[in-house]
Amino acid sequence: MTLDSNWFTEICTEGGSAFSLRIRAKLHEEQTPYQRIAIYDTEKFGHLMTIDGFVMLTQRDNFIYHEMLSHPVLYSHPAPRRVLIIGGGDCGTLREVLKHPEVESVVLVEIDERVTRLSEQYFPELCEANADPRARLHFGDGIQWVKDAEPGSLDVIIVDSTDPIGPAKGLFFEPFYRDCLRALDSNGLLAQQSESPLYHTESIIRPMHDEMRQAGFLDTLTLHFPQPVYPSGWWTATLAAKDSPVTFAREEACENKPFATRYYNDAIHRACAATPEFLRQALMS
């Protein structure tokens, strides 16, 4: 919601907080069959995309989120060749995944094609790898896509979703995780954005761990990183491993990665896996 015409403000009711960006103009707004998308030009954060009044990304800081949702899970897998991205219609996660030369194929399944088309227009830098021959974009239901996937056909699944409301709600429960487990090959890994530990430990993060393990995943681990435009400024991604503990499987390869990043590196990978004491206690209870 906006408090006046010069600011976009997102109020986080459960956190008792709000975050605002000063805007120059609203560039676009439309109601799709799934959600309301708006694009703003901000003074300091470049273009801003919101969905149903919630901040999705800005040009200034999206690199942190996209790098942390992609590279830790890919360097935790011994040989990530076949990748599925559910959501991620802005294509920033797709761009990061395709930086890995060992990745042979990536399918991106986004329910709302308009997210991608607007990203191509207002965030073209995120879509620069869309024409990569290893990539395939499919506009449809990610939950159904995983349900229909061949057993053992994937090495890594990345769930780059919105909050667990509306079309994304089903992505946070055991039936979906069970289908992911079946679709993953041995050593398979799932990575999913998991909100703020400051605000959502009990409502989202701990239930995610429980649901993933109940679905049959052997190990789970939540990674931490800053995200200035999201509620509390502190965000997470949670990994789930099919049949072996989550480890930094390709640490040496990460230290010598053949591509540039702005936030992620081998030291960040090791550090982000440390669990704050309050979350450790919550996950043990």
* Other Cβ atoms closer than 10 A to 255: 12
**Residues 32/51, Cβ–Cβ less than 8 Å:** no
Distance CA 163, CA 69 (A): 15
CA distances for 270 relative to 6, 62, 247, 273, angstroms: 41, 21, 10, 6
* Other Cβ atoms closer than 10 A to 145: 17
Active site residue 160: yes
Distance CA 285, CA 151 (A): 33
Find the catalytic residue in 90, 112, 155, 160: 160
Distance CA 123, CA 8 (A): 19
DSSP tag of 87? E
- Largest Cα separation within the chain, whole Å, is 53
Amino acid at 156: V
CA distances for 238 relative to 60, 121, 139, 195, 205, angstroms: 24, 31, 25, 9, 8
HSE-up of 76 (CA within 13 Å, CB side)? 30
Distance CA 262, CA 254 (A): 14
Active-site positions read 160
